A = this chain, B = another copy of it.
Amino acid sequence: MTSRFTFTRLATDGKARRGVVSTPRGDIQTPAFMPVGTAATVKAMMPESVRATGAQILLGNTYHLMLRPTAERIADLGGLHNFMNWDRPILTDSGGFQVMSLAELRKLTEEGVSFRSHIDGSRHMLTPERSMEIQRLLGSDIVMCFDECPALPASRERIAESMRLSMRWADRSRAAFGDRPGYALFGIQQGGLEEDLRGESAEALRGIGFDGYAVGGLAVGEGQEAMFGCLDYAPDMLPDDKPRYLMGVGKPDDIVGAVARGIDMFDCVLPSRSGRTGQAYTRRGPVNIKNARHADDPRPLDENCTCPACTNYSRAYLHHVFRAGEIISSMLLTWHNLHYYQELMAGMRSSIASGEFTAFQAEFHAQRAQGDIEPI
């Protein structure tokens, strides 16, 4: 524990980094995966269960929370940690990405983005200053700069304009955030798949100075190969003594590849969303539990997994409750998926620490290449 926000690199293996982010609300061992708690809940999970999977930090969504129940209401109720019963660190996004992808009738200006709520059509405005205010009201430990990013593919001109706007907003975010000991502000690198624009963005962010740096604007439709191509250089442009966060990523193999390229932090809705749609992630790749071949299978999803879904239930049961539309299906599969993701991160952390990350990656891919267990 610490009264300040710090990042310590404990070991490196190639470009992969093993570290620890310290905050007054607790440490985060990196590489770290942050489950997404969009509307003040990680869907279908109790927070103590999220903690039991090994999660040390959650992500909350500014866009959703500002609309319902509103940041002011959460502040009045003692902040997001108290509201949702999670006393460890919380990172909040800035709302920028979701305003652009989810909101209706949005209008982008130098000042910010005005939009209509997808819930009730009410009018709102997000600016760097308002985003900082909302994240402060929520009590977020790691605050993200307000930024904007175009969906790919986009023209180089559009990407450059957008990136430069985001850099001006990063400057305004930094000024609005002010000096808040124990809380962190992360800048977000943009620039699409254009190496020189990524460099220009990194330069601007370093000039402003942040507690951590995100690689933004990826995982927006460009595909894994293009994403890895960008990650071959983009993280290297960011300060190596600060945590690096790849926003919105991803599938297990995306994460392993990104860690190999120097990323420390991840968030993604996939493990929880997939849990609700019957898809499980396992060491041997994804398993679709609604497939009829599981209906009579007494074996667990993964016999080596120690989560409650694998310890206490058969594939036949998981198949049954999914088909029957039972809530426990979402509860068990989400728990399993989050457990698997955390175990994957823990495996990467220990293999980086012992200089065996190359072997870890080979084993990760070899297990997946086997495919799921044979039907009984």
Contacts and interface: CB of A to CB of B under 8 A. Distances in A.
Contacts of A308: 46
A314 B68 contact: no
Contacts of A353: none
Interface in A61-100: 68-69, 73, 76-78, 83-85
Contacts of A83: 314, 316-317, 320
A185 B317 CA distance: 27
Q: How large is the interface on A (under 10, 10 to 19, 20 to 34, 35 or more residues)?
A: 35 or more
A295 B39 contact: no
Contacts of A43: 326-328
A131 interface: no
Contact of A41 (B76, B314, B326): B326
A273 interface: no
A346 interface: no
Contacts of A44: 327-328, 331
Contacts of A73: 295-296, 316
Interface of A: 39-41, 43-46, 68-69, 73, 76-78, 83-85, 295-296, 298, 308, 312-314, 316-317, 319-321, 323-324, 326-328, 330-331
Contact of A320 (B40, B85, B313): B40
A117 to B, nearest CB: 13
B327 A40 contact: no
Contact of A314 (B39, B77, B312, B328): B77
B39 A298 contact: no
A298 B78 contact: yes
Contacts of A319: 69
A41 B320 CA distance: 10
Contacts of A68: 320, 323-324
